[in-house]
Chains A and B, each alone.
Chain A
Amino acid sequence: MANTTERLANIGYIGLKVEATPGTAVIPNDFIPLYSEDLSTMLNLVEDVPIAGMAWGRYQNLQGQRGHKGKFTCMAEPNTTAKLFNMLMTAGTILTGYTITVTSANATIGATYTNNGQTFTVLATIAAATTLFVVGTGAPAASGTLTKTTGTGDATITFSAQSANSTNMWPFTTGVGANSYTLDISTGNQVFRFFGAGLSQISPKFQGNEMQFECNASALGAWDTRQLASTPTGTNPWTLVFDTTYDPAPTDGLVVGDTLQVQKVAGGNINITVATINANGTTITTTTADPTSAVLGDAVIIRPQTPSFATKTPFLWSRSQFLFGTTALLALSAVHTPLEQGVDWSVMHKFENDEGSKRSGNFDPASLPRLTYDASFKIKKFFDDPLDMTKFNAISKQAVVIRHFSETNYELRLTFNHLKARTTPKPKLSSDALAYAEFEFAPQYDTTDGQAMDVKVVDALATL
């Protein structure tokens, strides 16, 4: 029977999990604190207005080819940040964090050293210190010597001990493709599942000091509610057949193990778990409860989970740094340039069409092909540096490393290797106001570094 009570939105959740096969749904097991969302399915009805001997225009509404898209705003914190960027960019190989006990040494962030056939990148600058934090492609030897390959620091560093710590670095590059996820949106009483989902844009939004992410998502399919085509049959296992009006394969998007609820029009609910999904795309079986009291037309929904959170402290504006330099490597160790609130960046990896490819033979999009990457970066700072004008006029290369920190070692780091100021840094004066320079950069590919940008997330995740 239909629910008749009001529902507080906060009871809901957004859950996600990477799909082993893009477009094949999985049951989400990661949950992100959510602030708002508008993900929805567009049926794209064809409103047919033919000349048909009457003055009423719309003769019929025909089923259209669907699209599944929308936005959501969620907490920006280390452990789920890497999953979101995994939906937008190409993930590289995880780098493991190590704490190395060294003989008093100097090493600058970003410098790379080798030992034991592995490469290690310095995570934090040390000066005549004995504890060095690095991330590496594998473990160093129990003791020995680190030999510098790039960057600034001692040519060799002697170390006596090392241990893996709980931090890992996930690198994301502007490679071809990104991973596909299943997104579950729960309203507290029902799950709206979007599968084959990816992101086309991530940008930060600051609520006071707290950072949140605004994400643009699209999906290949959705599973919200289906109807029974007949009374369930059988005896443990019981068989349920779904109506095919919405789609010829109404079970697409379901997963073995999904917890469903049959909501009977006549009243009463039956909780079942999916035991098998028939390859015919219309039929499932269950062994958990007898659903044979249901009838044709009764609704079937996915029951919400109790969400679980493995989140860390969100990134904060007060713990954000903007480091400018003539190269990305120099920017990484540069002095922080304090910027005013209103700074904005976004990373985009566009879909050809946010509703996917509307190919023949299917109501849902056949694919979500992507086009090029792009990014934007806008800053606001008080005007005190004429060099900004000279850089603008000379169309000079600048690089920036944006670092958003959380807790002790966690970080979201964006590197733009080659920026050109697109708009003038000249402040626009207004009475009784400070002279602020607000300008926008156009990131471009850097031929020396071999990239335009990358994203690194330092978190506590061993897998995405």
Chain B
Amino acid sequence: MAKHDFTYENTSDQDLTLPGVGFVKAGATFHSADEVNNANLKLVETAKEQAPAGDEDEAKPATKPKAKGEK
């Protein structure tokens, strides 16, 4: 089963707190298993990957804010 991985950038000039995501500093990017619809965020990448067999029921790791430039 394919899973989608979305990468967003906080394009506002404010540090933001988003329900279900957490704290995202201004200019920072973060990954989310789910699509996030927010006018302050810009979708910068949509990765589509094949999940390992047998993990369909496995919960996707919680979304984790990542500092800008973090790999």
Residues in A whose Cβ lies below 8 Å from that of B13: 462-463
Chain A 421-463 per-residue mask, 1 if CB under 8 angstroms from chain B, else 0: 0000000000000000000000000000000000000001011
- Inside 8 A of A17's CB, which chain B residues have their CB? 39
Residues of B contacting A: mostly: loop
Query: Are B39 and A29 touching (Cβ within 8 A)?
Result: yes
Which A residue sits closest to B20, measured CB to CB?
Answer: A306
> A306 contacts B37, CB within 8 Å?
yes
Say whether A306 contacts B12, CB under 8 Å.
Answer: no
Contact with A along B1-37 (1 / 0, CB 8 A): 0000000000011111111110010000000000011
Closest residue of chain B to A29 (Cβ to Cβ) is: B39
- A106 at interface by CB-CB < 8 Å: no
CB of A255, distance to nearest CB on chain B (Å): 10
Could you tell me the distance in whole angstroms from the C-beta of A206 to the nearest C-beta in chain B?
Answer: 24
- Which residues of A are found within 8 Å of B41, using beta-carbon distances? 308
Among residues of B, the one whose C-beta sits closest to the C-beta of A273 is: B37
Within 8 A of B (CB), among A10-39: 17, 27-29
A308 and B17 in contact (CB under 8 A), knowing A28-B39, A29-B39?
yes
- Kindly list 7 other residue pairs between chains A and B, CB separation below 8 angstroms, not including A17-B39, A308-B17, A310-B12: A28-B39, A29-B39, A305-B37, A306-B37, A306-B38, A310-B14, A460-B14
Q: Are A306 and B21 in contact (CB under 8 A)?
A: yes
Give the A-B contact count at a CB cut-off of 8 A.
45
Complex CA–CA separation, A29 to B17 (angstroms): 13
A232 CB contacts on chain B under 8 angstroms: none
Q: How many A residues face the partner with a CB closer than 8 A? A: 19
Residue ranges of B at the interface with A (Cβ–Cβ < 8 Å): 12-21, 24, 36-41
Pull 28 A–B residue pairs with CB atoms less than 8 Å apart, ordered by A: A17-B39, A27-B39, A28-B39, A29-B38, A29-B39, A303-B37, A306-B18, A306-B19, A306-B20, A306-B21, A306-B36, A307-B18, A307-B38, A308-B16, A308-B17, A308-B18, A308-B24, A308-B38, A308-B41, A309-B16, A309-B17, A310-B12, A310-B14, A310-B15, A310-B16, A310-B17, A311-B17, A460-B14
Residues of A within 8 A of B19 (CB): 306-307
User: Does A250 have its Cβ within 8 Å of any Cβ on chain B?
Assistant: no
A309 CA / B41 CA spacing, docked (Å): 13
Interface 0/1 of A304-318, CB less than 8 Å to B:
111111110000000
Using Cβ atoms and an 8 Å threshold, which residues of chain A touch B21? 306
In whole Å, how far is A287's beta carbon from the nearest beta carbon of chain B?
15
Residues of B close to A310: CB separation below 8 A:
12, 14-17
Distance between A189 CB and nearest chain B CB, rounded to angstroms: 13
Chain B's nearest CB lies how many Å from the CB of A461?
8
Cβ distance A24 to chain B, nearest Cβ, rounded Å: 16
Does A305 lie within 8 Å of B14, measured CB to CB?
Answer: no
- A409 at interface by CB-CB < 8 Å: no
